[in-house]
Amino acid sequence: MRKKIVAGNWKMNTVFSEAETLVTEIADSLDDVELNGAEVILCPPFIYLEMITDVAFESNFKVGAQNIYPADSGAFTGEISPLMLKELNVEYCIVGHSERRQYFQESNEFLKKKVDALLIHGLQPIFCCGEVLPEREANQHFDVVKRQLEESLFHLAPAAFLNIIIAYEPVWAIGTGVTATKEQAQEMHAYIRQLISEKYGADAASETSILYGGSCNGKNAAELFSQPDVDGGLIGGASLKSAEFIKITTSF
Ligand code: 13P
């Protein structure tokens, strides 16, 4: 049975004291709520990972990073390796977020290397895909997502693919307040699951968690998560407010 997941992507937000307050509030609240089997993942900036994995050790959430460089070590000034994350008990890592594709020119080919580097060390990629608005308007959104999956994930052996979590994040919905409708989300999630089924078989497809991201909040999460192929969310802005984030985690 695939996992239900709510992951918070803090992006480049919070100073240390704010990060401490936010994680403490979330950890305390998670003790008191019914998650209905859902897993909660927090993805803070790198420099808070150690502090947050310490809190996670005694709490009911897991920890993910927002990025890696695909090498174990070496002369890559400013970069962080999956090996470093592994030692901190980080279990997940976001790969292919549209902000990295857009601002750091990360290609499908480069993201494939990141996926491989994470899997070597047993970290689970949360692989983001999604179209920009002109692509949706030109009815190219299915082709764009297909290509992102084919070029960065579908080289994986079947056993390796089982470690992948997918997040469909239509770029036009990220940080805009314009959420995909539940029908738009369901349609794309079902399409992604069909592609996985064609490549890896029906069992792999039904075991893969596919999250929705893009202006998901405490008000719309329940409707989105009620869709048969929406297994949770990757939450940006609303993950920075503890009460709202907790509401999302209990929206299944
Ligand atoms: P928002 O929830 O702020 O739209 O961001 C979504 C996102 O990019 C999560 O990775």
Ligand 1 mutation target, pool 234, 244, 245, 251, most atoms within 8 A of CB: 234
| N-terminal to C-terminal alpha carbon distance within the chain | 15
Residue 169 near residue 188 (C-beta atoms within 8 A):
no
Question: Which residue bears the tokens 């078989």?
Answer: 201
Question: Is the CB of 170 within 6 Å of ligand 1?
Answer: no
Does residue 248 have its Cβ closer than 6 Å to ligand 1?
A: no
Residue 186: the pLDDT is 98
Which stretches of the chain are DSSP H helices? Answer: 16-30, 49-57, 82-87, 98-103, 108-120, 133-137, 141-152, 158-161, 182-200, 202-207, 221-225, 242-249
Residue 136 confidence class, pLDDT cut points 50, 70, 90: very high
Question: Which residues carry out catalysis?
Answer: 97, 169
pLDDT of residue 82: 98
For domain 5-249, give its CATH number from 2.60.40.10, 3.40.50.720, 3.40.47.10, 3.20.20.70.
3.20.20.70
9 lines ligand 1 (CB under 6 A): yes
pLDDT band for position 237 (50/70/90)?
very high
pTM: 0.98
Mutate to test the pocket of ligand 1, among 5, 9, 241 (most ligand atoms within 8 A of CB): 9
- Band the pLDDT of 206: cuts 50, 70, 90: very high
Residue 2 — φ and ψ, nearest 5°?
-70, 155
Q: Which two tokens stand for residue 94?
A: 């976001």
- Confirm if 58 and 68 have CB atoms less than 8 A apart: no
- Report, as an integer, the average pLDDT of 237-243: 98
- Given a cut of 90, whether residue 47 has pLDDT beyond it is yes
Q: Whole-number mean pLDDT of the chain?
A: 98
Contact 175 CB / ligand 1 (< 6 Å): yes
Q: What is the pLDDT of residue 1?
A: 85
Measured by CA distance, the residue closest to atom 1 of ligand 1 is 236
Between the alpha carbon of residue 159 and those of residues 53, 79, 122, the distances in Å are 27, 29, 12
Q: Whose CA is nearest to atom 7 of ligand 1?
A: 236
Give the side-chain half-sphere CA count within 13 A for 116: 14
pLDDT of residue 76: 98
Question: How far is it between the farthest Cα atoms of the chain?
Answer: 48
pLDDT above 70 covers a percentage of the chain that reads 100
Amino acid at 23: V
The CA distance from 196 to 150, in Å, is: 10
Beta-strand relationship, 39-43 and 210-212: unpaired
Structural domain boundaries in the chain: 5-249
pLDDT tens digits, residue range 25-37?
999 999 999 999 9
Q: What are the pLDDT digits (tens) for 52-72?
A: 999 999 999 999 999 999 999
CB 245 within 8 A of CB 232: no
Pair of tokens at residue 25? 């509030």
**Which residues, in sequence order, are bridge partners of residue 124?**
92
Q: How far is CA 186 from the centre of its chain?
A: 17
If you average pLDDT over residues 183-195, what whole number do you get?
98
